[in-house]
Amino acid sequence: MMARRIRVAHVITGLVLGGGGQVMWTIARNFDKSRFDADVFCVIGGGELVHDIEQLGMQVRIIPAHVGTSIFKYRPGQILELARQLRQGQYDVVHTHLFQADIIGGIAARLAGIRHVVKSLHNMGAWKKRHHLWIDRLLATDRVICCSEFLAETAIRQERLDPSRVVTIHHGVDTSRFRVEVARDEYLASLG
């Protein structure tokens, strides 16, 4: 009998060409589809990588942060809608990426009754003020994934994380994307 695949909901601000979007694209290309089902929820907007990630077999849903004009950065309706979709999707794990998605996804996961929440830190977070750090601690996740030992050490110190909750997973880079199929001399000549 084949075990049920683990359902993962990735919550990210958007799928733009920058760091977070590239990480999500790499995950979409390389996760083990025999063990996991995964979908992506964008909580700010879409982005240039939506189509590419959908082509890789992940469903992308966009739940925009602002409808019309809003004085609230985090709309309760948006959080409730995400919670509804997470509950409906029967996800086992919510994996958040980037601070606003950490907040929206973390609260929505709790409202949906999802017990396992992890977040990936994509940058040093040196911009975080005291209230950001307080929110991070309030919405503590099962695991915090860092892309380097330096980031892990910095996050443990800055955010006062329990080191046992911090995991380092280095970003994979597909070096074949950077292969030049032209001979070096020919390429240099084309550049003048």
What's the 3-state SS for the chain? CCCCCEEEEEEECCCCCCHHHHHHHHHHHHCCCCCEEEEEEECCCCCCCHHHHHHCCCEEEECCCCCCCCCCCCCHHHHHHHHHHHHHHCCCEEEEECHHHHHHHHHHHHHHCCCEEEEEECCCCCCCCHHHHHHHHHCCCCEEEECCHHHHHHHHHHHCCCHHHEEECCCCCCHHHHCCCCCHHHHHHHHC
Q: Average pLDDT in the 53-70 region? A: 80
Supply the pLDDT for residue 5: 93
Supply the pLDDT for residue 74: 63
Supply the pLDDT for residue 102: 93
11 - beta bridge partners?
Answer: 41, 96
Q: Average pLDDT in the 168-180 region? A: 79
Q: Average pLDDT in the 73-98 region? A: 92
Q: Average pLDDT in the 132-152 region? A: 86
Q: Provide the whole-model pTM.
A: 0.84
Supply the pLDDT for residue 2: 63
Q: 15-60 pLDDT, tens per residue?
A: 998 888 989 999 999 999 999 999 999 998 899 999 999 999 999 9
Q: 148-173 pLDDT, tens per residue?
A: 999 999 989 988 889 999 999 988 77
Supply the pLDDT for residue 71: 47
22 and 52 Cβ atoms separated by less than 8 Å:
no
142 and 165 Cβ atoms separated by less than 8 Å:
yes
